[in-house]
Structure formats: C-alpha cells, structure tokens
A and B are shown apart, each in its own frame.
Chain A
Amino acid sequence: MSESPRPVTIDQPVTITVNGSEVTAQKGELLIDACERAGTYIPRFCYHSRMSPVGMCRMCLVEVDTGRGPALQPSCMLECGDGMSVDTESAKVRKAQDGVLEFLLINHPLDCPVCDKGGECPLQDTTVAYGPGESRWVEEKRHYEKPIAISATVQLDRERCILCDRCTRFADEVAGDPLIHFMHRGSNTQVNTFPGEPFSSYFSGNTVQICPVGALTATPYRFKARPWDLEHAESTCTTCSVGCRVSIDTSRDEVLRYNGVDSDPVNWGWLCDKGRFGFEAIKHEERLVAPLVRSGDSLVAARWNDALDAAVAGLRSVPASSIAVLGGARLTNEAAYAWAKLAKGVLGTDNTDCQLGDGLPADAVLGLPVATIDDVCRPGGTVIYLGPDPKEALPVLFIRLRHAIVNDGVKVVELTPQSTSLTPLAAASLTYRPGEAGVLAEAIAAAHGAGAAGVDAAGVDAAGVDAGRIAAASDLLAQASGPITVVIGRPSVAESASTVVDAIGAIVRRFPDATFLPALRRGNVIGALNAGLAPGVLPGRVRRADAAEWFGAAWPRVPEVDGEDAAGILRAAAEGRIDTLVLLGADPLGDFPDASLAEQAFIGARRVVAIDLFLTESARRATVVLPATGFAETDGTTTNIEGRVTQVVRRVTPPGTARSDWQLAVDLADRLGADLGFESLADIQAEMDELSAVHAGLTVAAAASDLDGVVLPLVSATVADPAEADATGSDSASASDSPAAEATAADATVADEPASDADPETAADVDDGLIPAPAPLAFVAPAPTTVPALDAYAARLVVGSTLYDAGTMVRHARSSAGLGPAASIRLHPLDHSQLGLGTSGRVRVINGARSTVLTAVADGSVARGTAVMIGGLEGGDDSALIDVTAAVTDVRLEVVS
C-alpha cells in the first residue's frame, strides 16, 4: 500500500533532525509525514495520511528528543516542532517495532498462503522488514466465523484484523456512514455491523483498499489473483464525471480490480463502489461482440463491411438537418472530437447532444468561469449548491465536500427541491418549490445580505421559502471571505434545465466574480461538450456561429444553422423529420426523462444506428448496431467536471470485433467519401491542439505525465494573436476557398465525391492568424422561464437521482445490480394522510395523458405539495410522467383500490 504523505505547503518552516540529518518541515506537520518526505519511511498500520491520526497500532514508535532526552513516541501523533531530534533506527526503536509486531501477530492467523492480501500485505511486508523472526506464542489463537459479509460486496475475516481503526475511521470520518464499529472489548474486540444493518455505504470498497491486512476483501476480487501476477496501470474512472484516478489491475487480459490512486486535487485516493466495481460491466458476457443489422423483426450478426455500409446508407444523400447524433458522454475526448468532426464537419448537422435531457445547456457549462473541486473546497470558503444530490450523482465530490464542510469550515448554501445528503451538512438549506430555483435565487440576490433590513426590502417569502431563511442565506453569502463558488447541475429532471439556468443568471448578476463547477454526471460529458457535441457549439468552447469560419477553413463543411438539443432531436424524429438517428452510447428509450417522447421518436425516425457496449432497449430497436470498446479497452484522455484532462488507458482486448469510437467515426467518414485525417489518436490530438482553443497546447504527454492531469483551458499559445487577427479579420477571402464555403444550403447533402479533407494549408491559415480565432463562448442569461402556479389538487414532482439506478452499466455489474432502492413516490405525511392510504399504499400518479402506478410513502423530509421520486429505477417509471417541454411536472394522485 503506497499512501503517500499529503502534499504540504511550508510557510512556517521548522528544522528537525532525522537520523542525524537536518530536515525542513512545516510546523505542526506530523512527524511520520515529515520523515517520509525526507526519505525516511516509518512503518505504520493505523496512520493514513487522508484520515486523522489515532495512535492505535504503535508501529510508528520512534525515539524523539524534544530537549528532555530521547523517548519513544508514536510519530503519527507527534507534530513537528523546531529543534526536534528523531532517531528512527536506534536499538530501542528496533526493539519496540519488534515487540509491537510480536503482539500484533499473537492473534493473527498467519494464513498468508490462502489470504488475498498476501504479496501486497503491509503486515506481511512490515513483519519481514522490522519484525521478529519467530513467534513465542504457543497458546490458542482467537477464532471467528469466517468470513462474514458486512455488506453486499465486502467480506470480513475478523481473526486477521489488527484493530487499526482504518476501516471504521473511514466509515465515520470520510464517508460519514459509521455503520461498522469496534464491538466488545479486550481480546474480543472486533469490527462488526449492527445485526441486520449492513455496511451499505456507497464507499465501502475503500475500506478493502486501506485495510493493512487481509481482513477486508471485496467479493469481486476474492481468490481471483495473486498480487504478483497483477499489472497496474493508472487511468481515470469515467463512471461519473468526478474523474477519480484509478489503478487498473489486470492479469492475463482481464481486469480484476480497480484501486483508488491519490490525486490531491481530485479523489484523495477514494473511489465510490459504483466506480470501483464498474469493471464487472465491461467484462459482462452480454457485451456486444459483433455488428448487428436489422433483418425484418430481428437483428442479425453481420460483417463489419456490411454493417458499416448499412449505417452510412442512411447518412448519404439525406439533408444534413435530418441527421442527428445523440450521446457521446461515454467517449474519450479524442473520440468525441472525431465524432464532432464527422457530425458537424462531414455530415454538416448540428443536431448533436451528448446530454439526454438531464444536463444543462452548453453555454451554461462552457461559458462560465470554472471552479475546480479545490476551489469549491477551499478552507473557509462559501459555496452555493444547486445540483443533484452529490452523494448519488458524483459520490467522491460528496466526500470532498463533506470533508470541506466538516473539517475546513466551508459553508454551503444549498438550494434544493428535496432534502439531500448535503442538507444535514449545509450551513443553510433552502427547499424551494420545484421549478422555482430561479425565483429563490433572485430573492436571495435581492435580499443582498442586508440582514433584517433585507427581509424588509425583499420582505416576502419566495419559492415556498420563508423570508427569514432567505435573508439568513443571503447574509451568509454576503459575509463570504473570498469569491463564492457555485456548483450547478440538475436537482431534478422533473423541472426544466431553464429553471436552473434562471437561477444561474441571478447568481451571476449578484456575484459577478463567482466561479462555477458543473455537477453533471455522465462520464465524459464535459469532454464531449468541449469537443462540440452539443447544439450551437463547435470544439473549443465556441459558438457555432462565431467559429464557422475558423472551422470552415479546416473542415469539409460546418453546419449552417444551430441544431436541436436531445429533446428537440427526439421531437423532430417523432415528427418524421429525422432520417437517421445515431446513438453514440445513448439509450433514449431507457434513459431519457420523457419516455413517451422517446418512444414516438423511435416510431418516427426512419433509421437508427446504435453504437454501444450492450444491446440496450434503444439498440434493440436500431437498424444497425455497432459494438464499441469500453473502459480499459481504449486509449485516450477524458475530462472531468473541472475541465481536468487525464489519461485513460487500454489494458485489455475488447470483446469480439468491437472497435473504438473514434475508429468508427473514421470508418463511417471513409465510407461517406470523406477523410477525417485521423489515423491515430495522435492525429486527433494534433488537430484538437490546432483548432480547439481550449485544447490548444494540450498534449497527451502533458496530461499523462502528471497523475493529476491538467485543467483546461491552458494558456493558449496557438490561438491567433488578436492584433494580427484584427488586421485580416474581415478578409474572408482566405476562407472563401474552404470547403465550408461550398456547402451553403442548409439542407446540403453530403457530397458523393470525396470531400476535401483538412489539408495542411488550410490548417496553416488558421495557425497563421489569417482567420480570427473565434471568441470564447460566454454565458448569457436568457429570459426567465414562466412557471405555472401549482393548483391545490396537484403535487409538484421532484425526480432525483440515485447511484444504483437501473442504468446499463449498473445492471451489468454484479456487485451493484439490485442495490438500488425500491421505486416509490414520497409525500409529506400530511399530504399522504389526506390521500386516505395506510402507511403505504398504491396510487395512480397522473400527469395529463401520462400516468403510472406507484407505492406512496409518507416521508417527513418531503415538503408539502411536492412528490418525490428517484429517477431511473426498475419499475420507477418516472419518465412515464415527465413532459420535457414543460417547465415543471404537476401530478394528481388517485388511490388505486
């Protein structure tokens, strides 16, 4: 286990002597860390640099002289002070280490040959390095039933436990789920759960990683490999967009586990269980292994040649506006760029959206100044949180936020339509009436931190929140030290994105120097947005209209008009205006908030080309299905919520003949007679560097060389000098012979003859500054959304998210499948009792023509007049109720007899 000492800034240097050499340490830094940084490793079991020291194991004893003569002290509990002198190798220290290990081994079974930890076990390694050669213990050792399952995935062999308190401390301090605890005492002390209450934490897998012995093991890895047979490679988890760094451990072309890697600005070594055990999905036997082509009612396996021909058949000779590409958030940055180039630069359609109705408009994500996770968690800072429950959507972001709030005095003002995991931690949590986030944000801005006076000024309740609480929140924000950071996302898919955008507008007006961290969930959604896979934008955080000339000079063509977003695309399909719908890892039938619209779109679309890992509900209805590579099967880079680009690596062979997404874009373009100009990832990266302002100067080498990656945008060296650009800016002649100039009609079809590709000359024009670099996209607050009043007989719906929803990857990961909560609709107890049900009963939930039947549950945390559901659950049917064209979703409830 190589947990490294936490990075430290030395602004109060003290000098200590370690084994005779002088070392500079930060005052107050723990001695164990200071020594390690200076190259002197002190053995330890209980100490972990990301948790508070407890001094449980005594393995870190060293001789310390603080002026009163040398004495044995635990170095994990001792803060460095000036003049401290440390001996880590004295005879006394050796004896202490030897003794501590002998004690620890008294009850330890020494079953290394059958223990999963053997070979990478700190107890084993430390015993060899520092311990006694033999045990003097002849008595019987402790015995326990072995192993016991403390959660669905974590097993505990209690007799191996050395009671270091790491797992229990993690559960309590880091995850905030103290469901495991030391029980009993003396030699009977053991880690255990309360009977019938398993350690069902989203973060339980971390305890396996940090356990210094083989007491905790994870079911997916138990007895699967020996550590010395594993190969490790650093990569980034793309299950959600926090972008935790992982080590992918493989053996014989199979992924066997992930471990967290400590990236200081991101995950601190932690992972969530969905990410950690997500590898089970990529090696699932239902992975697509060959292309499928529709023949009558069924999909039949086809050769790649035929499948690609069938796929392009619907892309050739059709108007650009009748082509749409949905999805792309699963892709690497490079694949997203290749697809953006295929869709926008070859097919000429701007109907692309990497979000499926659960995100925010591109300009709200790309056009606002970005806050990093560290900015949001800056000690003493103040944060506005308006997004999905972080624990459910972006689990490790929750860990960082929780730490910031609990340990670093960060104050969070939460705006939410339902209580979340942040609610008990937030300095202020305001529960607004669904759809009225904008109204609430305006009210907070209007109160302007004027305290009681502010209440008089605003004076009124807004969005169902009382004036006093609004004033208090406003005060908190006004007293913030340093700029406010804002986390933005979708608290509920039952209220439109525009209601959140309204709130963002109000926040931007009130706090002009605020920075924003998007809380969007899909793996590489930010990367896909940066690559231009959204309507109205082109790669590099630029508007289509502003950058048409720039890209027109390098690409065969650029879209003539702004396209539609996911909802618009599906509506167009439903209305018969879409000839070919390309699904880039998107599953609208299973994963779009408005099921009836998705269904109609599938009826209306003439052909559907699905590119996916699994035969999703949507892929089943496709005309052509192309199998793509999954995580750990493809190289590239990914971008997290902060815009941080890190490397993902290929470690195993994809199943069957699955191809990487970028290769598919190249293949399809090829068949359309266009050459994307990409023969390798490096080609794509080179073009991104050249054409995309945010990616300029980014090399994979740079992203790969630093385990923390690099945050975009970099200071760009290649964007044209504005002065030079001004001189030639109006001179469109340089662009007039570019391919874009030829494609003028909005409905132009893809030329049958090979379109001229990005030739070096045109790219050079761009580089030479002959064409002005497009202005970076800026967020412009649109006119506020009108939210209808809630009538007295209806309840306003909130649809939140949960980590273990019935999504494709969760269903195919054995450890996570089935862990999701049961579907229900939760109501305030008074609203619930008004229905005249018992403690729980079935209700028909009706929104106009849409309806579904659910179990109604009384829940005191739900606000009156609202009804709360969790989205994406098996049998949850939230998408049966939502109309994405409406700002809010009001439902009526009828008791089902």
Chain B
Amino acid sequence: MSRFNEANEAIAHEIIARYPRPKSATIPLCHLAQEQDGYLAEDAMAHIAELVGITSAEVMGTATFYEMFKLAPVGRYVINICTNISCQLVGGEELLEHAESTLGITSGSTTADGLFTIEDVECVAACTEAPACQVNYRYQHRVTPEAFDTLIADLRAGRRPEIPDHGTLGATRQHISEDRVANITPPEQQVEPAWYAARNATGGESA
C-alpha cells in the first residue's frame, strides 16, 4: 500500500528527533508503517528510507530480518499457535489442526475475508499456560478448541476491544515532550566521563 499519511509522517518526524542519528529510527518507523497499513508496504519502506536518509535496500534488509514485520498483507488478526514441546504435549498441534479446519486455511495463510492469518510458532514463553496462542501478539492461555471457537466468534463480533488490529503496538502512543527528551548527543560528540579518560591516559588497557 502506501507511504505515511500526513498524521503519521508528523509522528515519524517526532520519533526521528529522539535519536542522535535519524537512521536509528528505522525500526520504530517500520512499526509505525505496519500500524498504518497492517503490514510493511514497499512504498512505506521507500518512504522510511527517505525520512531517515538511508537506502530502501537498507530498510528492507533490516525489516526482513524480523519475522514480525510482514512484507505482504496479513489478516486483521494474526494468530500464532504454539506447537513447541510444552504446548504440543497438551494439545498444541490439535489446536493448530482445529484452527486450520475451522478457518479453512493452512498455517501461513489468510482467510478470504482478510480477517485471520494463522501461523504456527515455536515456544512463545507461556509454557505454564499451555496450549498457548497469541492474537496480534496478545496472549491467549490454555486454549481448547472450544475456547478457540469462542475467541474467533468474539473477534468477528468485535467483542475483544483489547486486541487491536495487526500492526498496532500499544493502545496508547508514547509521547515524549521536548523538555523530557533524553540526551541526544551523537556518540562521537559525547564527552568522555572523567574516570574513563583518566584510565585511558594511564594506559589502563593493559592492566
């Protein structure tokens, strides 16, 4: 889809200003783009490149390293079903099969209505609550097939307001007022702390 809309471009500039180097804002801006479009569009990557002064190839190289940046459209709800050992022992794989058959898709694909994407994942660190899954990275614990059906029905009916659309990181956006922005001096312009300078001066490295 698209480049940043005007409101998001303003946010992008605000985010960039938090870092000593614009390039450091690359990943936060990828999140912002994913929040806007539900996935990380090519045009968005090109726009990010322009904004932070690197090439589109560099943005793409960075973004593709991360599983959670989606380079193609996904469902409004991305459901990660854990099939790793703890979950597997108590029905993780059955849950995946159930999900696939009720939604009529295979893992890694999206329903025709664009609502759901299923992915099977490795341990999401909720072993004590196995079998676990995540919807847009929000945990669902001890998910039985019935609980899964309820979850899907609730999502369809809009009864799970705490789960935002795919790409949204948080319910509220962090805003750092100007007076609270931390020291954004680039590393090469930072003044060495006195103790550090003193240690180096006395050849501390060999000690």
Contacts and interface: CB of A to CB of B under 8 A. Distances in A.
Interface of A: 177-185, 192-197
A177 B57 CA distance: 10
Contacts of A182: 61
A192 B55 CA distance: 13
A192 B61 CA distance: 8
B64 A184 contact: yes
Interface of B: 42, 45-46, 54-61, 64-65
A193 B59 CA distance: 11
Contact of B54 (A178, A185, A192): A178
Nearest to B46: A194
A196 B45 CA distance: 12
Contact of B65 (A184, A194, A197): A184
Contact of B45 (A177, A178, A185, A194): A194
B70 to A, nearest CB: 13
Given A181-B57, A183-B64, 6 more contacts: A177-B55, A178-B54, A178-B58, A179-B55, A182-B61, A197-B46
A565 B104 CA distance: 81
Given A194-B45, A194-B46, A195-B42, A185 B65 contact: yes
Contacts of A185: 64-65
Nearest to A182: B61
Contacts of B55: 177-179, 181, 194, 197
Nearest to A197: B56
Contacts of A193: 57
Contacts of B56: 194, 197
A865 B54 CA distance: 30
8 contacts: A179-B55, A180-B57, A183-B61, A184-B65, A192-B57, A193-B57, A194-B45, A194-B46
A177 B54 CA distance: 10
Contacts of B58: 178, 181
A202 to B, nearest CB: 15
B64 A194 contact: no
Contacts of A197: 46, 55-57
Interface centre among A184, A194, A197 (most CB of B within 10 A): A194
B61 A181 contact: yes
Nearest to A177: B55
Contacts of B45: 194
Contacts of A179: 55, 57
A180 B64 CA distance: 13
Q: Nearest 8 A-B pairs (CB), nearest first? A: A181-B61, A194-B56, A194-B57, A181-B57, A184-B64, A183-B64, A185-B65, A178-B55
Interface centre among B45, B54, B57, B58 (most CB of A within 10 A): B57
Nearest to A199: B57
Contacts of A184: 64-65
A195 B57 CA distance: 8
Nearest to B66: A185
A212 B124 CA distance: 39
A196 B42 CA distance: 10
Contacts of B60: 181, 183, 194
A178 B26 CA distance: 15
B129 to A, nearest CB: 28
A73 B67 CA distance: 31
A59 B94 CA distance: 45
A178 B55 CA distance: 7
B65 A178 contact: no
Nearest to A181: B61
A865 B19 CA distance: 36
Interface centre among A181, A185, A196 (most CB of B within 10 A): A181
A195 B61 CA distance: 12
A161 to B, nearest CB: 14
A896 B178 CA distance: 50
A158 to B, nearest CB: 14
Nearest to B55: A178
A182 B63 CA distance: 11
Contacts of B61: 181-183
Contacts of B64: 183-185
Contacts of A183: 60-61, 64
Contacts of B46: 194, 197
